[in-house]
Amino acid sequence: MDQQLKPHRSLQEQVEILRSRGLQIDDVASAEQLLFNVNYYRITGYLHAFKIKGTDQYMPGTTLAKIKSLYDFDRKFTRILMYALEDIEETLKTRISYTLTSTFPDDSLIYLNSEIYRRYDEYARFVAHFNREVQNNRNLPFIKHHIEKYDGKLPCWVAVEVMTMGNLHGIYKNLLAPLQKKIAKTYNTGPNQLSSWIQNLTFTRNHLAHYMRIYDFNFGRTPVQCNRHHQYKKASGYIFDQIYIMSFLHSSPEEWNNYILPEMGKLLNEYSKDVQLDHLGFPENWTDILRIDSSNNK
């Protein structure tokens, strides 16, 4: 028999539950306001690491102020990572499109040709997902233009603009080997590695887009390593593993080294009182590991 779901709890009751479990709350009104704006289960996610093993109690000295600090850090860190992922996603769209259309210059709809894919069932699944994306975005000016003028046919370089990271992974992992190798070569890696990286970053992007917890979160997956790139071999399961492969895929070493890494550094320094590097999988020399050497592209 299913267990009965818990009933609604008022803001006052939520505060009392947290206090009864040992969380130090100095300002009740501020705590209630926080819980009115941030879901109780989002906040308690940051408390898992502070539980006394085998109990629902929190370690002595655990404060709501510290938990709020970790939550604020995550929000700001998410913005930096999403900024970097925007570049990676756009670059991937462009390189897949360019590789396909330069290989088949007379067929602007080559991405819809089942003969360039390994498995028909996966191709059909991609087409179904892609058609839904087109339908969902039919009012965008460039989609509307192609519907009205070209009977809805979207050349590859237009089609990729409405593809999700999941769509891109669906295409790439199913392409014939020579096409996979051509695209992977632009990233100085192999097809297995690139497929793994796209899949991992699809998961990461979706995780971040829903503003889910980063701090002390084990992603439960490890990107495939590449001898041409991985100078640092240790896998943590945390966000650092994902950021490391982001450094391989980002299009601009200058922007990565001179903007993204400094922004990460400033944020980690700002929250150094509460944020522990190992709870993100970051080693102490993380800046050296993540810095892109543009002379050999890592």
How confident is the model over 31-61, as pLDDT tens digits?
999 999 999 999 999 999 999 999 999 999 9
Which among 237, 213, 208, 273 has a CA at the least distance from the CA of 71? 213
Residues 222-245: tens digit of each pLDDT: 999 999 999 999 999 999 999 999
Q: Which amino acid is at 108?
A: S
Q: How far apart are CA 291 and CA 232, in angstroms?
A: 12
Tell whether 77 and 49 lie within a shared domain: no
Q: How far apart are CA 190 and CA 193, in angstroms?
A: 5
Tell whether 132 and 17 lie within a shared domain: no
Give the alpha-carbon dihedral of 253, 254, 256, 257, to 10 degrees.
100
Tell whether 131 and 212 lie within a shared domain: yes
Tell whether 129 and 201 lie within a shared domain: yes
Q: Is residue 270, in this structure, part of any structural domain at all? A: yes
- pLDDT for the residue numbered 298: 45
Q: Which residues pair with 51 in a beta bridge?
A: 58
Tell whether 147 and 263 lie within a shared domain: yes
Q: Tokens 């993204």 sit at which residue? A: 260
Q: Are 31 and 69 in contact (CB under 8 A)?
A: no
The three-class DSSP label of residue 221 is coil
Query: Whole-prediction pTM value?
Result: 0.92
Name the band, by pLDDT with cuts 50, 70 and 90, for residue 1. low
Q: Which domain holds residue 106?
A: 71-290
pLDDT over 80 at 295, yes or no: no
Q: Which residues pair with 58 in a beta bridge?
A: 51
Q: How far apart are CA 150 and CA 128, in angstroms?
A: 20
Mean pLDDT of the chain: 94
Query: Is 234 exposed, middle or buried, given 0-12, 13-18 or 19+ CB atoms closer than 10 A?
Result: exposed
Tell whether 226 and 193 lie within a shared domain: yes
For 46, the token pair is 């940051």
Q: How far apart are CA 108 and CA 97, in angstroms?
A: 9
Q: Is residue 113, in this structure, part of any structural domain at all? A: yes
Number of domains in the chain: 2
Tell whether 45 and 80 lie within a shared domain: no
For 32, the token pair is 């209630």
Sign for the CA dihedral angle at 68, 70, 76, 81 comes to: negative
Nearby residues of 207 by Cβ (< 8 Å), 6 or more positions away: 214, 219
